[in-house]
Structure 1
């Protein structure tokens, strides 16, 4: 058998189902460390003497890593292979969470940068594994991947405040490293099982025999431009809302930290329904454009609802949560399905993520600064509403 297995051979490997389980455990770690911070940001700010804008910077560091490190992460995946890249990603997440909780501002910034680098590698490597090993089920597996990320986010959003009340914010944040430890163990076992399905001693790489072109072609290049705009709006809104939603709920509804964190949790948890609902709708031949328009409309109700009827916050949060998970799935399903090769999918995904996360890295800080400047949340929410409007317009064209 040749040193590099074909896609068909990999798909038939006995470790394939276990590989999917391992992939989803990895996905649990690709957002959870970020969403564990906002529920206790007031405690962290007090302990480290941070202003709201500085706290926004701390939240923005991982997203800035996504923007700056996605191109080298894509090169790493191409050179080292997706399996080793995922392993390195989880190690980075684990180490970053430990350093971030050391109790000083320099350690918090350094640890956040390390976990941001780890997540960046995972952001690039996991879609490559999906496009390569689950080609015939890209929508379903992408949906499951998105759902797992949001499940991890919901878990940390809900449980970090109670853990902080018991052990303090440092142990509460560092304790989520247990998810990374579990992912490391299962991913190592799964990739060993996949490697054992072939007699080849060489590592599995993302390229088939003879290599493949990363050329996008004109139609795909146009799609990538549109998805850059759309993902910039998606990611900016997601990270801005994730960072400040508990504080918005505290200000608008007078909730305490625990209650605000609990009410914000459906924004992450309901994304599971959106992430899994998109591939289900597509499997029943619902037009992709119709699915995308519904996701955009549901996303828009959160800033609009918090401006006009904050008393119904739970409804707006649940709808927007499902929408942000579903919209993420639509964007990366489009890339996986329409890219002419795995190398082209890796390149397109890297470009979209680089542009989108570059914009998103500014969003939490900008929202915090706007809140400080205006003394309220009206202007920041209007900004989120406008951003989502641009995103919706780009998605309408991309899915036409």
Structure 2
């Protein structure tokens, strides 16, 4: 073997090692972004009472700390694809992490304005990441979309559940502001691991998203089916999370046990956010998964409506499994029903904008129905009916088609 051939082999070996290192760093970066997509929000829920008393604000104002980010998701999601085309996906994700970190740090300081400004910044940063991560995965892991969607979904839901559990112990040890601000440690770590993605200038194929033209999905019936599918699963999840303790309380379950039931639901979500995308990615269509998910929603909600205390944990787990499966399917549809990363970003922006608008409206509407009927029966029937519509739109979204195909 000549010296030139040996030199060429060594160069190829170095290139492979460098490429492998970049891929590993990218995967870690995606996992860390996922870890920051729900935790800064779910960590607030257990502290609402303390926040209300500490900051001297009303119940409505305290409750808006969970709805303001959802509104930010709805308003900003359509602009994320345009920002990615203009500045590149890697750069926009990096600055979104900075927004999230700045928002968490602001919440550490005293004052109502800092509290709400920080919450808005967190919502804006998460909104961009929500939309662009599916596009990023399609762009860099086109052969492993299901696995990578599952990986970041598990990271997102696992850290969301952990942050909910840590909030009160952290508040006891470090005070309310310490509990609100500690999550900045994890967002800073995410920033550090994402720096290589912008320093390298992106992989060669990452320039595609910048050069691709904007697409108009608003006339695509398939895009609207996916949008309603995303919207209904968001509405059911956030409404259920917001009101489950109250529903269980009326059925004679203690507030402490009701809180554990909510944790049970969140942990039931986790394995299915990993398994479902992998299965969905290997199927010709996702009609079977949509059907099973809808059945779990309907049976779980109907079981909670009946109110058999002994079986309540089972029905709550069924709703949790359905929620995890529905979210994962929605994320997968952004990749499976599009032909390139830009289409995926546009579809993600459209569906998440509408989806989180419904999610923001859902808990309030659910509460109004309860006030009108003085019972949780009517609101729960509305969610059950919503599950049937979820199934109808899911059947359309689950067919093996592309959004811009005629």
Decide: shared fold, TM above 0.5. Answer: yes
Alpha-carbon offset, residue 148 of structure 1: 1.4
Q: Deviations over 1:176-227 (max 9, x none)?
A: 22221221122224554x54977xxxx954527xx33444689x92211101
Q: Which residue of 2 aligns with 1:212?
A: 212
Which range moved further: 224-233 or 169-178? Answer: 169-178
2:120 is aligned to 113
Change (3 A) 1:204 1:290: closer
Q: Is this contact kept in 1: 2:153–2:328, CA < 8 A?
A: yes
- Secondary structure of 1:168's partner? helix
- Count the aligned residue pairs: 382
Is the partner of 1:361 in helix, strand or coil? helix
Offset from partner CA, 1:102-125 (integer Å, 9 cap, x none): 454433322211100010111122
Unaligned runs of 5+ in 2: 1-15, 400-406
Inter-partner Cα distance in structure 1 for 2:76 and 2:86: 15
Structure 1 residues 97 and 373: alpha-carbon distance in aligned structure 2, compared to 1, 3 A threshold: farther
Instruction: Indicate the residue corresponding to 1:355 in structure 2.
Output: 354
The offset of 1:335, in angstroms, is 2.0
Q: Distance in 2 between matches of 1:105 and 1:335?
A: 38
Kindly indicate whether the alpha-carbon contact (under 8 Å) linking 2:132 and 2:348 is maintained by their aligned counterparts in 1: no
8 Å contact kept, 1:35–1:242 = no
Q: CA contact under 8 A between 2:170 and 2:179: conserved in structure 1?
A: yes
Q: Is 1:124 paired with 2:122?
A: no
Tell me how far apart the structure 2 counterparts of residues 352 and 386 of structure 1 sit (CA, whole Å): 21
The residue aligned with 1:305 is 303
**Which of 67, 70, 85 pairs up with 1:63?**
70
Partner SS, residue 163 of structure 2: helix
1:326 Cα deviation (Å)? 1.6
Range moving further from structure 2, 264-273 or 378-387: 378-387
Q: Distance in 1 between matches of 2:347 and 2:250?
A: 40
> Which position in structure 2 is the counterpart of 1:26?
33
Deviations 1:26-48 (CA, angstroms, capped at 9, x unpaired)? 10110111211222223333444
Alignment partner, residue 38 of structure 1: 45
Q: Which moved more, 1:161-170 or 1:267-276?
A: 161-170
CA-based RMSD of the aligned residues comes to: 2.9
Q: Is the 8 A contact 1:53 1:368 kept in 2?
A: no
Please list, as runs of the form range in 1=range in 2, the aligned pairs for 1:226-375 lying within 5 A after superposition.
226-257=225-256, 259-282=257-280, 285=283, 288-309=286-307, 311=309, 312-371=311-370
The TM-score normalised by the length of structure 1 is: 0.85
- 1:91 aligned residue: 98
Task: Choose 1 or 2 for highest CA Rg.
Answer: 2
How far off its partner does 1:293 sit? 1.2
Q: Is the 8 A contact 1:131 1:342 kept in 2?
A: yes
Distance in 1 of aligned mates of 2:57 and 2:298? 31
For 1:340, what is the secondary structure of its paired residue?
coil
For 1:72-106, what per-residue CA distance to the aligned partner results, in whole angstroms no more than 9, with x for missing partners? Answer: 22221221111111111111112212323545443
Alpha-carbon distance change, 248 to 94 in structure 1, aligned in 2, over 3 angstroms = farther
Measured after TM superposition, the shift of residue 234 of structure 1 is 0.9
Q: Is the CA contact 1:158–1:261 (under 8 Å) kept in the aligned structure 2?
A: no
Please state if 1:221 is matched with 2:220: yes
Query: Normalization by structure 2: what TM-score?
Result: 0.84
Q: Distance in 2 between matches of 1:106 and 1:28?
A: 26
Matched-pair contact (CA < 8 Å) for 2:301–2:380 = yes
Q: CA distance change for structure 1 residues 359 and 322 in 2, over 3 Å: closer, same or farther? A: same
Q: Which has the higher contact order (CA 8 A, sep 6+)?
A: 1
Q: Name the counterpart of 1:75.
A: 82
Equivalence for 2:402? none
Deviation at 1:396, TM superposition (A): 1.9
C-alpha distance 45-393 of structure 1, shift in aligned 2 (>3 A): farther
Contiguous gaps of at least 5 residues in structure 1: 1-8
How far apart, CA to CA, are the structure 2 residues paired with 1:61 and 1:52? 14
What does 1:145-184 correspond to in 2, within 5 Å? 145-184=152-191
